[in-house]
Structure 1
Amino acid sequence: MPRARKRLNDCEGPDELPASDSEEEYEVCSEAESVDSAEEEAFQQGLDLALDREEENTALLATPPKPTRWRNTNEDDVLPVQHPFAPVRTPGVQLDGHQQHTPLELFQLFFDKAAIRDLCNNTNLYAEAKKQKGMKMQWSPVTPLEMHKFLGLIIYNGLVKATRVQDMWRKDRLHSFPFPASVMPGHRFWAIFCNLHMSNTKEDEENDRLKGTAGYDRLCRVKPLMGQLLLACKAYYQPHQNLAIDERMVATKARMGLKQYMKQKSPTCSFKLFVLADSRNGYTSNFSIYQGRGQSRSGKGLSYDTVMDLLTSASLGTGYHVYMDNFYTSPALFWDLHKNRYGACGTIWENRIGFSKTTINTLPKRAARGDIRWIRTGPLLYVKWIDVQEVTVCSTIHKAYSGETIQRRLKNPDGAWSVQAIPVPDAVKEYNEYMGGVDLSDALVEHFTVSKKTMEWYRKLFLHFVDIAVVNSYIIHKELMQDKQQKTLKQKKFREILCQQLVDFGSNEATTPKKLAPELVEVLQEPERKPCYPATIVDTSASAKRDRASAGRRHCLLCLQRKKYSKTIYKCGYCDVALCIMADRLCFTEWHELMDS
């Protein structure tokens, strides 16, 4: 079934890096500041007050007359006219596929010479400004060569997972990492990190004077690098037709008013990013950062404005199909997307303004699994479907029902359980297939994330920008290799090569394409590991014969990672990891795909 809208994460990272050097650069985040308005509280619960009011706001929509009743599957539905898919460029990587591109070259698409130069200049200006204010510290200007080495060590820390970053320079028997010390002294790494700055200090001062006015930019300290990264994300890859929009949480304890706070959970806060991703591979095509409460620019709600900002026809084209969850979905948004020649599909709250209020022929309280009701208003289709619970979806790109089925384990009248095929609406089936684009991107980021604790909010976002650049670089590598029908690197190996190339940048061992080719060939020709195969977990000590097949059940590892507690009798015979193998939940396949990514 379509998943519920994702809530805020409470993920923890390793011990924090040195705290802030200046008390002037952040606003203290408190629960009172983060949730002191009805709008903010509703947003944290997945609601948008501009669209979820009880009273009807007729100004938002200009729709045909509302249908008077819900229809059954035996009543025909007519698919609305579909906009032809017309991207501005051929979907896929926008590079010469005949050339060989190293991990470093792909990473430099996002952190190019200009971005590195600006990062060095702004870091040096920030360090000098602190010294002029009387702060005593040893500092020499950072160079582009050092910045490459610094980025290499940041990525390296995501590979080794040291409890504290400082442990990478310890020399005792328990902590011995010779690689970081061979690249850069630990005190120099800390100096660069503590002074890392993405914006010009003079522009920061001018912006700080505007605090409390409409001209104040809360993202001033990240805008320069963020803008360069967004341009690169759009320039070097054209998404395929199916896109997903969802939130991404970046956990932090940095002190800043942009964070989201969950009262019912631990006091960990997070930055919320709105992400547009290619459903095919998880490539981050566009993103924005939630900047706190404020008036909706269009008057139609934050969720409406977010989607409209992420979908820019100048860089995308038209005819795209966009999938989203119930925080974003609204009749007003889908009508306007249809006018802009975009198709859309998403779960929807039934209290959204414009949703049909009729209850005639709606689903009964005790409807059977697979029961469907639908209603159409122009190009907007609303469909209700019973699975474990009732699911409501809105779509402008699907018919109500075309005979599709899905496998479910149901109880027969005689009490026995069996796998049966039940009807499923087209919109629900394709929502399940294409909505996971951002989740796939998140999984690639979280495997080897470079994120660390830091008390400066903009440095936390800088580390996430590095994550986005590395993951997008890796996805481009996979697409290029698959187009040439060659074996792709695993993400870990890709990061290892990238790390070495960054720390060797500018040295005699600098990896030019010709010199690196043998290394890449060697990696691509690594011996295949033994094939994975499903096996049963059997506890032969069970006394009753009928209990032996299930007595040794273990918790599925993938379900545990998703905070679900499902036990299974199956495991991977090679990896010795318990994984579900069910008609509606193939954790065995999904887990191995994630490990191979």
Structure 2
Amino acid sequence: MSQITDIITVHKNVQESLLKKMGDIEAQIQSAGSSKDTVARIAEEFRTFRELVFDMLKLLRSQVTECCRNIDGLEMRNRRKAVVFQGIPEEDKEDCSQVMLQIINGKLGQDFPVSALKVCHRLGVHNKSHHRPILVRFSSVDYKASVWRAKTRLQGTKITVKEFLTRPRQEVFVRARQHFGIRACWTQDDNIFLKASDGSKHRVVCMEELSPLLDKYPSLKSVSQKAAGGGAGAHTQKLETRGGRILALVPAHNAPSDDSEPSDIEDEIRVHAPLSMSSSSAPSIESSLERLNLLNDEQEPTNDNVRLTPIFQTVYSSPSLEPNCNKVPILSDIPSFPATPASPVTPATPTNSATASVLARSASLGLETPRMPANASSTLLFSRRTRSQRPAISVAQRPRRIQKFTLSYRWKKAVFRHLATMEEESDPIGDATIQTPLEYFYKFFSPDILTHILEQSNAYAVSKTGRTLGLTEDELRDFIAIHIIMGVVSMPSYTDYWSLRYRYKLVADLMPLKRYQQIRRYLHFVDNNIEDSDRYYKIRPLVQKIRENCLVQENERRFSIDEMMIPYKGTKAGKRRQYMKDKPNKWGFKNYVRAGVSGMIYDFILYGGEDTFRFHTFSEQEASIGFGAQVVIALCKTIKSKPAFVFCDNFFSCPELFYILREEYGIFGLGTIRNNRLRGAEASLPSEKEMKKKPRGSHAQATCNKNRLAVVRWHDNKAVTLISSYVGVEPVATIKRYCKDSKTKVDVQCPQIVKEYNKHMGGVDLADMLISLYRTPFKTRRWYIGIFAQLLDICINNAWLLH
């Protein structure tokens, strides 16, 4: 708010200066007498001065608008956990929290605790004529997302749920609904979306973004009138039904088409002005205006006819008449400053278009260049730019439709005859030549990675500011060390490490805060000028280099394959961001990982939809057995030491996968499997309902010795089904399980396949747990920085295990 106050103060100073100059010019006009040349010269100087001031006011107005837009964004971010319920009956002395819990857990089918509701109260003054809405602020964004997804269950009731929008956004939302219709406008994640008549979707957050759409597309009312106007005596067609609205959108015969393209809302990003590299202050507008000398006595009068401004046309109506000084208007009579659309200022070059015009007019007058105050020059020039539209480049080509690979099975209740065993390997052994922990870290985060980050960050700073960042390898190592320390010693804000009250010497003495912020702002990993359709091209060079370093260190033969979530709750990642409700970090990037039993990560693949296997190839058989199986095959192709053993869960498992791994790659597989993938083995096994009736520890086995596969169903707390290509039931062992009846631990039979799975499956979960203990914090809107922090944690975890 102080920045806006500074701008308003400068705005008033400019107006006062204009008033003063106008007074001087009026006095000179009155004392000029009948000299035509003097009046013409004053008129020209006044016109140039007025255009200069108007451009400066236009610049200030655009900055005020951008400040208000950013304040609205901050206010909307403060409301991101809140929703408003309408239509709930109001009673005296009611407990709003209990009322909302009953609605959320009852009608919406949720299971929220009392702590989920942080704030809950009615809005407005009590009025018996209507029920006031209830504002609910949740303790977590996940609670709000769950309620928002389940709001469709309130259909048929009088209760509605809407987002708690700010007043400017609410006005935009109401105006959009009036123009495009109720069904064509909606809100999601604090943004307003609308669907135009041509089917294109747009995202708007302010009236400046909505106004062009209102001019481009006709309103629902005008479309209705156009559809209804069919000549004299034609019946008026009402748009009350769905069919009527559809018919209203049909264009007339030979009507011109609209040349419009749907906007890509993911390409619109907000970029703040870069940090100032210098500390010198600029003179203010007021001090510069005081030095203006519009009436230069040394300037020779000219006899050229000069077109007079409207004000001087009133004073000097005809060349043959004397000037009427009594008609000189005062400042209040001058037309108001031109209302210009609030277009954001784009600091792509040292001077943008608005300031360039100001400087040009100042130079034409021979004036010193006016500047903004030092406290507003760097912080108020916010920008909102649209990333250049990239050419339509298709992602990795889909494989052509091929016939699904199937096997012929002969499932029998028999002994599995294709057992395979291997001695247990020891923990990963470190290199005896390495002396320090830093050298272990460099085996994964190699020095060439530092050089690459160094070059790209300096180049990115040059492209943004026109000057190099001056980043050195020592500074980059210190920057990474600071973030590692921040993961061990946690504080609410990164600026607290440099604050006077909470100053932490290991961080504050390593690098100044301003230098840390500069490196943080311009940290980059790829050249933006290189066009690439890869969804992860912003971080792909680092991903590939760290993956290659991890593959070199492989010294185990038992691996587990599972998903690992890279935490990210931002909205800038588009479809890269995934949601998995069963993971500790529910929102983020999905990463498929192959890890050893020790927890060391050897290979990984970032999920990118159809573009996931951009750098992998499969045979026709492998490409036909499903996405999960392809992930396992892609991660197993890089295994060097064979024979090896791979363990996975039911998302990846299928009989064809384990058959291909054993026959073509020499890799044995084991994992849980879903009932719809048993390929006929369920006929030789008791059903899950039948297994529940049997005592704990009961098991059954179906084998297909032709394809070297064994399927085992075991009953513990519930029935679980496993499949393997190297082990079956035998030998049956015993394990300890707690019995509720006797309240003691009892012996329960456990097939060998279950023991193998429980012993070797937890490698990825172990690595995820070790990383989460001291996760490197890096909060930013740039989605690829979160992946960089995860890669850094993977290198630290692997180096610690190897050490």
Please name the residue that 1:151 is paired with.
Answer: 480
| Alpha-carbon separation, structure 1, partners of 2:712 and 2:674 | 12
CA drift at 1:451: 3.2
Q: Of residues 65, 70, 88 in structure 1, which corresponds to 2:410?
A: 65
Q: Secondary structure at the match of 1:458?
A: helix
| Alpha-carbon separation, structure 2, partners of 1:416 and 1:81 | 37
Please name the residue that 2:357 is paired with.
Answer: none
Please name the residue that 1:305 is paired with.
Answer: 630
Give yes or no for the alignment of 1:272 onto 2:590.
Answer: yes
- Counterpart mapping for 1:379-458 below 5 A: 379-411=708-740, 416-458=742-784
CA drift at 1:359: 5.6
The structure-2 alpha-carbon separation of the partners of 1:113 and 1:264, relative to structure 1 and needing over 3 Å to count, comes to closer
- Counterpart mapping for 1:4-83 below 5 A: 59-67=404-412, 71=413, 77-80=415-418, 82=420
TM-score by length of 1: 0.62
455-464 vs 417-426, greater mean Cα deviation: 417-426
CA drift at 1:249: 0.8
Q: Is this contact kept in 2: 1:241–1:321, CA < 8 A?
A: yes
| Alpha-carbon separation, structure 2, partners of 1:108 and 1:25 | 36
Q: Secondary structure at the match of 2:653?
A: coil
Give yes or no for the alignment of 1:245 onto 2:561.
Answer: yes
| Alpha-carbon separation, structure 1, partners of 2:685 and 2:710 | 17
Please name the residue that 2:528 is paired with.
Answer: 201
| Alpha-carbon separation, structure 1, partners of 2:566 and 2:612 | 24
Read off the aligned partner of 2:720 and give its amino acid letter. Answer: V
Please name the residue that 1:470 is paired with.
Answer: 796
Read off the aligned partner of 1:244 and give its amino acid letter. Answer: S
- Counterpart mapping for 1:491-502 below 5 A: none
Q: Is this contact kept in 2: 1:123–1:198, CA < 8 A?
A: yes
Q: Secondary structure at the match of 2:693?
A: coil
CA drift at 1:374: 0.8
Task: Write the deviation string for residues 123-181 of structure 1: whole angstroms up to 9, x where unpaired.
Answer: 1111111225xxxxx86321111111111101010110111112111112xx2212222
- Counterpart mapping for 1:79-118 below 5 A: 79-80=417-418, 82=420, 92-93=428-429, 95=431, 97=432, 99-118=433-452
CA drift at 1:410: 2.4
| Alpha-carbon separation, structure 2, partners of 1:266 and 1:284 | 19
| Alpha-carbon separation, structure 1, partners of 2:629 and 2:523 | 35
| Alpha-carbon separation, structure 1, partners of 2:457 and 2:748 | 60
Task: Write the deviation string for residues 314-348 of structure 1: whole angstroms up to 9, x where unpaired.
Answer: x5232111111111111111111111211111111
Task: Write the deviation string for residues 506-558 of structure 1: whole angstroms up to 9, x where unpaired.
Answer: xxxxxxxxxxxxxxxxxxxxxxxxxxxxxxxxxxxxxxxxxxxxxxxxxxxxx
Please name the residue that 2:91 is paired with.
Answer: none
Read off the aligned partner of 2:462 and give its amino acid letter. Answer: E
The structure-2 alpha-carbon separation of the partners of 1:150 and 1:294, relative to structure 1 and needing over 3 Å to count, comes to closer
| Alpha-carbon separation, structure 2, partners of 1:265 and 1:249 | 7
Q: Secondary structure at the match of 1:238?
A: coil
The structure-2 alpha-carbon separation of the partners of 1:23 and 1:223, relative to structure 1 and needing over 3 Å to count, comes to farther
Please name the residue that 1:291 is paired with.
Answer: 608
Q: Is this contact kept in 2: 1:94–1:238, CA < 8 A?
A: no
Q: Secondary structure at the match of 1:151?
A: helix
Q: Is this contact kept in 1: 2:557–2:641, CA < 8 A?
A: no
Give yes or no for the alignment of 1:165 onto 2:494.
Answer: yes
Read off the aligned partner of 2:408 and give its amino acid letter. Answer: T
Q: Is this contact kept in 2: 1:168–1:177, CA < 8 A?
A: yes
Please name the residue that 1:36 is paired with.
Answer: none
Aligned length in residues: 401
194-203 vs 223-232, greater mean Cα deviation: 194-203
Task: Write the deviation string for residues 90-116 of structure 1: whole angstroms up to 9, x where unpaired.
Answer: 994473x2x342111111122222111
CA drift at 1:443: 1.5
Q: Secondary structure at the match of 1:337?
A: helix
Q: Which runs of 4+ in 1 moved over 4 A?
A: 9-12, 18-27, 83-87, 262-268, 293-297, 359-363
The structure-2 alpha-carbon separation of the partners of 1:266 and 1:91, relative to structure 1 and needing over 3 Å to count, comes to closer
Going by fraction, where is helix more abundant, 1 or 2?
2
Read off the aligned partner of 1:290 and give its amino acid letter. Answer: Y
Please name the residue that 1:346 is paired with.
Answer: 671
Read off the aligned partner of 1:322 and give its amino acid letter. Answer: V
Q: Is this contact kept in 1: 2:714–2:721, CA < 8 A?
A: yes
Q: Is this contact kept in 1: 2:430–2:802, CA < 8 A?
A: no
Please name the residue that 2:578 is paired with.
Answer: 260
| Alpha-carbon separation, structure 2, partners of 1:358 and 1:223 | 47
The structure-2 alpha-carbon separation of the partners of 1:219 and 1:355, relative to structure 1 and needing over 3 Å to count, comes to farther
| Alpha-carbon separation, structure 2, partners of 1:10 and 1:396 | 44
The structure-2 alpha-carbon separation of the partners of 1:474 and 1:266, relative to structure 1 and needing over 3 Å to count, comes to closer
Q: Secondary structure at the match of 1:122?
A: helix
The structure-2 alpha-carbon separation of the partners of 1:86 and 1:24, relative to structure 1 and needing over 3 Å to count, comes to farther
Read off the aligned partner of 1:130 and give its amino acid letter. Answer: K
Read off the aligned partner of 1:449 and give its amino acid letter. Answer: R
Q: Is this contact kept in 2: 1:331–1:355, CA < 8 A?
A: no
CA drift at 1:262: 5.2
| Alpha-carbon separation, structure 2, partners of 1:443 and 1:264 | 15
| Alpha-carbon separation, structure 2, partners of 1:266 and 1:344 | 27
The structure-2 alpha-carbon separation of the partners of 1:180 and 1:227, relative to structure 1 and needing over 3 Å to count, comes to same
Task: Write the deviation string for residues 43-77 of structure 1: whole angstroms up to 9, x where unpaired.
Answer: xxxxxxxxxxxxxx98322233344xxx4xxxx61
Q: Is this contact kept in 1: 2:565–2:585, CA < 8 A?
A: no
CA drift at 1:360: 6.0
| Alpha-carbon separation, structure 2, partners of 1:295 and 1:345 | 24
The structure-2 alpha-carbon separation of the partners of 1:353 and 1:424, relative to structure 1 and needing over 3 Å to count, comes to closer
CA drift at 1:83: 8.2
CA drift at 1:295: 9.1
TM-score by length of 2: 0.46
**Gaps spanning 5+ residues in structure 2: where?**
1-139, 144-268, 273-383, 390-401
CA drift at 1:368: 1.4
Q: Is this contact kept in 2: 1:253–1:455, CA < 8 A?
A: no
CA drift at 1:418: 3.2
Bigger Rg, structure 1 or 2: 2
Q: Is this contact kept in 2: 1:230–1:286, CA < 8 A?
A: yes
Q: Of residues 169, 178, 181 in structure 1, which corresponds to 2:505?
A: 178
- Counterpart mapping for 1:521-536 below 5 A: none
Read off the aligned partner of 1:374 and give its amino acid letter. Answer: Q
Q: Is this contact kept in 2: 1:10–1:269, CA < 8 A?
A: no
Please name the residue that 2:84 is paired with.
Answer: none
Q: Secondary structure at the match of 1:104?
A: helix
| Alpha-carbon separation, structure 2, partners of 1:26 and 1:289 | 26
Give yes or no for the alignment of 1:223 onto 2:547.
Answer: no
| Alpha-carbon separation, structure 1, partners of 2:650 and 2:724 | 12
Q: Is this contact kept in 1: 2:487–2:776, CA < 8 A?
A: yes
Please name the residue that 1:316 is paired with.
Answer: 640
| Alpha-carbon separation, structure 2, partners of 1:159 and 1:354 | 50
The structure-2 alpha-carbon separation of the partners of 1:355 and 1:307, relative to structure 1 and needing over 3 Å to count, comes to farther
CA drift at 1:11: 10
| Alpha-carbon separation, structure 1, partners of 2:770 and 2:388 | 30
Read off the aligned partner of 2:542 and give its amino acid letter. Answer: L
The structure-2 alpha-carbon separation of the partners of 1:238 and 1:261, relative to structure 1 and needing over 3 Å to count, comes to closer
The structure-2 alpha-carbon separation of the partners of 1:23 and 1:470, relative to structure 1 and needing over 3 Å to count, comes to farther
Q: Of residues 372, 381, 404 in structure 1, which corresponds to 2:699?
A: 372
